Structure formats: structure tokens, C-alpha cells
Amino acid sequence: MKRFFLFIVVLTLLIPTAVYAQDTDPWSEVFQPDGNLKPDLINLGVTTDHPDWMSMDLPFGQSLDLDANYHRYQTPRGNIVVLPSASTLFFMAMNPQESGLASSYGSLGSGYGSLISFLGLAAGDNLDWGRIQAEHPEYTSPDQFWGAVLNGNQDVWTYFSGWGFITNLLQMTWNDGALRSTYLLYLNGTQNCTSIPGGCSGVVTPPPPPRECPDPSVVLQQPVLAIQKTAPNNPLVVGQDTETRRGADIQARVTVPPVIFTWHEPIYEVRDICRSARVGETPNCNTRSGSIFLDGVSDTKRVFKECRTHVERLPDAVASLQATGALDAASQVWISGQLSQSHYGAYIHQENFTLIPGIGSWTGGCGGGATCTATGQALRVPFADPGTFSLRLDVVTTGTRFRGIPITQPRRIGIDGTMQVYVTLPALVP
């Protein structure tokens, strides 16, 4: 249970705060105003490393070398965003200098709070807060103590009262590699990649130039939903239908058109130039036309040429589909009132049905054109009450990603439908 709470809070911490969206903050290069990662980040993927500070010493000079694991992104200006795994982050916090945590922009700025929250949750009851208060009354909250640990002013090991949480933390990381709570930002990380967590693996050098093309755009097309009765034509309440408890069949369908993501790639060309000669270089060309003396050196220069437009059709698959049926209020009044008066003992048998998933199930997928569909059926639904049933279909999509970067968030969409259920009433004919 404790691990579940930690997992939930870690997920919550993944939602970046609005402070990142300010233009003057380096974080504004990382997050969009809505908190999503910017689409022009380069996803460097997951890097593993075997740093000394993640090595556990064993007797007889043996050691258990654990993997440090980071998911990293590169910004257009050459900064590197590092998301360590939960266990890596814990060991980084225990070794802030050696691990490079202390040199990250995030550890000094707005990323600090989430890191402290993570440490508090990871250590939990294993931190002897009573003893800390007795020996260091200057810390009025555990957060202050963790801050001192991160600054290298306190030795946290002195105040741990339990030991099992470390292996639990490691197991949590192994079970869920995506569990990463804190974004660390390394300014000019591409230039100093040897000193950042994960090293230079996959780092794009030189970093891409500042954006010269238009911002990417996203076009969302409205999904098409339907929920209806498919058979029989005029369903009777169960017991009165021709087959034994035939009931009615309900079908739900949804078609989600692709999300159109348009982005623009700057194209560069290499041009021959004659640049000024540096000290020690032998001039071999003229920097100015008409000049008699050789004063420059032949070189090449990368020059922006054009923007190439890419249109991506991204599938937004169906993540969940739910269908329900409910006898409407007017029908309930009619059964309880008029019908029960003319046919003694008439009552409402079942007013609500969980159709899909429940009586039926659904399947879905995405086609080659990135259009996603899902279909669900609930067969032989035993409607026992006559009247109008309100049908409801609710769908949640997965959202879209491009090269690992979220483009659109999951969508929640729904539609209503109706169906009639009939009853045959006997009447005395004089």
C-alpha cells in the first residue's frame, strides 16, 4: 500500500508546475505552458551507467555494481534534461556531489521541491525524525533536513532507522522503469556532457540551432461514435419474446481519425567560404573580392536553406470503452403508475445495465492510415422492463506521441442513444 501511495505521488510530481512555463526560465525551453514537454526536444532515450556511487560494497572487497538509469532529452539550445529512475535518484541524493546532482540547474531551482518530496516519500518512516529533532532542533520539518542533505550539510545515513526501504525502492524501479519523478536540467549539457549523468551517450553535437522554422501545429478531428440496438427489430421484455429470454443486442462503435501533426524541419546547406585567417594559419584565399593579398583561409559554413514541412498522421487509439443502459424516468413513472394500476403487481425489475465491459466486451485497433476504431457488443441483454432505455457510450483515447514526445493528451468523449423495449399486455375483449 505504501508503495502504491509513493507511486501515485511520484506520478503527481511528474506534472510540472506552471513556473516552468515562464519564458525567462531555462525550463521554458523544456515545457509547454500546459505542462507537456515541448515537441522540439530530442529524445535521447534511456542511458544506463555504472557509477561508483551506485556500487554496494560486500565483504572481501567484492562489490555489487548497480545500474544508474536516466531518460534524457536535449533542448534546442543544447541543455540536457535528465530524468533518473527512482533508485538512481535516491542514490544521487545520497551522493549529491559525486553524482552531479548538485551541479544541475534543477537541484538549485524549481526542481528542488519535487526532489525533496520524493526523498521524504522514499525514506518514509525509515527516517528517525524524533532523533533529528532532538539533535538538530534547527530543522522544523523533514523538508528542511532533506534540503540540508542535498546541500551536503547533513549525513542522512546517521538518521535512518530502517534498512528494507532501499531494496524496496530498487525493486520499484525494476518493476516500473517509467517511474521517474524529477526533471534535472543541465545547462549547456551538450558541451559538458562528460560531466552530466549518463555522459555523452546519444547527445547530439553540435546542438541544433535555434528554431528558424514555424512552430509545429496539431489538428484534431472529431471522433465518430454510435451506440444502438442491432437486434431484434422490436425487442420484447424477456419472458415474452419468442425465444427463451432472447433480450436485445447492443452495439457500440467509435472511429477516431488520426491527429494531424505538422512540423517543420530546418534544412541547411554547406557553403564554401573564405574566412579570416587565425594566428598560425596560412592564408590561401581572399576575404574581399578584388584584394591582391591572401588574407583568409578556405573553410565551409552551414547555412540555413529552407524549412521542410512534415505532416504526421498520429494514431489516437481507444484506451477504454464503456457502455451502459438505463430505463428513463418517464418509463419508470409509467411502470410504477399507469401499468401497475392496470396490471396489478407490475414493478421495475432492473433499471440499469452495465453493458460493456460487463455483459459484453470490446476490441479495437489502429489501421494503416492511423485511423483507430473500437467495437463492442453486448448480446442478449435481458431487458425485463418495457419502455425507453437511455444508452450511453463513453470512450477514452490514449493520446498521441511523436518520437516519444507527447503531442496530444488522452481525449474523453461520449454519446447518448435510445432504444425501446416492448411488452404485450393481455386485454379482455367483451
Partner 1 sequence: MKEIPVSKRDLIVALVLAVVIAVGILVIENWPLPTEQGSVASTKEDSLPSAVAVSGVERVFQINFQENKETWLKRICEVSTITGCELLSAGADAMWEKYTDAKSVVSAAAQATQKVADNGTEQVWQMNITLSSPLPGSNKTQDTAYVVLMRTDSGWKFDRFLMGEEINALLARIKSSVPTVEEGKK
Binding site for partner 1 (CB under 8 A): 50, 56-67, 94, 155, 157-164, 166-168, 170-171, 174
Q: How far is the CB of 51 from partner 1 (least distance, A)?
A: 13
Q: Cβ of residue 407: shortest distance to partner 1, in angstroms?
A: 35
Please tell me the distance from the alpha carbon of residue 256 to that of residue 407, in angstroms, as a whole number. 16
Answer yes or no: are the C-beta atoms of 118 and 10 closer than 8 Å. yes
The minimum distance between CB 180 and partner 1, in angstroms, equals 18
- C-alpha span between 220 and 256 (Å, rounded): 10
Residue closer to partner 1 (CB basis): 67 or 312: 67
Q: How far apart are the first and last CA of the chain?
A: 71
Q: 233: closest CA among 421, 429, 405, 12?
A: 421
Q: Which of 301, 298, 77, 308 is nearest to 206 (CA)?
A: 77
Distance of closest approach, residue 147 Cβ to partner 1, in angstroms:
19
Residue pointed to by grid coordinates 545515513: 157
Q: Which residues pair with 49 in a beta bridge?
A: 68
Longest CA–CA span in the chain (Å) reads 126
CB closer to partner 1, 141 vs 171: 171
Torsion of CA 168, 169, 170, 172, to 10 degrees: 90
- Using the minimum distance from each CB to partner 1, give the nearer residue, 164 or 345: 164
| Residue-wise DSSP of 305-337 | EEEEEEEEEE---EEEEEEEEEE-HHHHHHIII
CB of 278 to partner 1, least distance (A): 47
**Grid coordinates in use for 23?**
519564458
- When the beta carbons of 45 and 162 are compared against partner 1, the nearer one is 162
Which is closer to partner 1, CB of 61 or CB of 137?
Answer: 61
Which residue lies nearer to partner 1 by CB, 91 or 402?
A: 91
CB of 222 to partner 1, least distance (A): 47
CB of 176 to partner 1, least distance (A): 13
Residues 6 or more apart from 97 whose CB is under 8 A from it?
A: 152
Q: Which is nearer to partner 1, 160 or 304 (CB)?
A: 160
